[in-house]
Amino acid sequence: MATIKLNSLSDQPTKSNKGYKYNDLHLDFTPVVYNPPYGGYTQNNELLRGHEIVDISADYDLGAIKNSLTNLFTTIPGQKILNPFFGLNLTQFIFEKCDEDTANLIGNEIVNGISTFEPRVSLQQVSVIAQPDAQQYTVIISFTVPTIGPTSYQFFGTLSNSGFVFTS
């Protein structure tokens, strides 16, 4: 297997000039709105630089961590060519019996995945609650990011037959 090394990237997070430790592309792209008389596209003209529409935005620190967790939860191992082991295979549990035993298996999969692929996060608790009537699971992840500070964060998500979705 070939190894790709980018010397411009470092393994350790560094503080940028804006004071953030982590940054990432914002995953929810927003459509460019028509803006007369400049149109609905980006102007690359120095004269109209003030009217330039920026169609790519970034997330910082906790937003970057959430993007990383979203990628982890929504990627099935084998989908990422350069890292075929990356991701969680939560879809394997979708059509299993919706009960506490399956919820425990899902929780173990989440703990192993986050521990392996997101070293910036220090897990405090992962709770998976089975909801047999709705045929879904509620996932609550409590964690800290030691390099950002001691604050504890919680993310909530839902695993159902349509996949995994973070709800907050």
Confidence class of residue 17 from pLDDT cuts 50, 70 and 90? very low
Q: How far apart are CA 40 and CA 50, in angstroms?
A: 15
Q: Are residues 55 and 76 in the same domain?
A: no
- Kindly report, residue by residue over 108-166, the tens digit of the pLDDT: 999 999 999 999 999 999 999 999 999 999 999 999 999 888 899 999 999 999 889 98
Q: Which domain holds residue 144?
A: 61-166
CATH number at residue 131: 3.10.450.40
Structural domains counted in the chain: 2
The answer to whether residue 74 is domain-embedded is: yes
Domain boundary among 38, 59, 80: 59
Q: Look up residue 119 and give its two tokens.
A: 């070293």
Same-domain pairing of 114 and 31 = no
Whether residues 21 and 41 fall in one domain: yes
Claim to verify: residue 125 and residue 105 sit in the same structural domain: yes
What is the 3 state secondary structure string of 18-44?
Answer: CCCCCEEECCCCCCCCCCCCCCCCCCC
Give per-residue pLDDT as tens, 24-48. 766 665 555 545 555 555 555 565 5
**133 in the same domain as 94:** yes
Alpha carbon 70 to chain centroid, angstroms: 3
39 and 115 fall within a common domain: no
- Residues 149 and 84 reside in one and the same domain: yes
